[in-house]
Amino acid sequence: MVMVRKHGSLTKDEEINEASWVAARGAAVGAAKWGVFSILAGAAGYAFSPIYRGLTVQFKVFLQMSGMTAGAIIEADRRLIAHEVVMRNRKKIARDAAVWRAYEEDYQQLLDEAKAEAASKERVENIQKSK
C-alpha cells in the first residue's frame, strides 16, 4: 500500500527537504553549464554572424537567459529523477530488511521451541530411566 502525501512541509518532511535540495543543486549546475554554452554560442554568433550583431542587447540577454533556464530545468529534472530512484531503492531495501528480520525472528522462535521440546523430552526420558 502506497501512502500518498496530501500536504508537504519542507521543515517537517526530511524526504521532501532532501529532494528540494537535490533539485536546487541540479538547477544551479544546469544553469551554469548551459550558461557557459550560451556565452560561447553568443560569442561565436557575435564573431561570425552580422545578424546576431544586429540584435538588440535585450534580445541577446533573453537568448542567454533562455539557455540558462532550459539548462536549469533539464538538469534539475534529471537529478530529481535519479534521486527518486535512489529513494525507491532505499525504501525497498528497508522493506526487505523488515521482512527478513521477521523471518529471522520466526525462525529463531521455532529453534527455541524445538530446543525446549527436546529438553522436555530428555527430562521425561531421564525421569523414566531413573524409575
Neighbours of 76 (CB within 10 A): 20
What percent of the chain has pLDDT above 90? 73
The lowest-confidence range among 47-51, 52-56, 82-86, 112-116 is 112-116
Q: Cα separation of 63 and 34, whole Å?
A: 11
Q: For residue 9, what pLDDT is reported?
A: 66
pLDDT digits (tens, 9 = 90+) for 100-110: 999 999 999 99
Dihedral (Cα; 60, 62, 66, 68), 10-degree rounding: 70
Distance CA 131, CA 73 (A): 87
Summarize pLDDT for 22-78 with one digit per residue, the tens: 999 999 999 999 999 999 999 999 999 999 999 999 999 999 999 999 999 999 999
Report the interhelical angle of 57-130 vs 14-48 (nearest 10°).
150
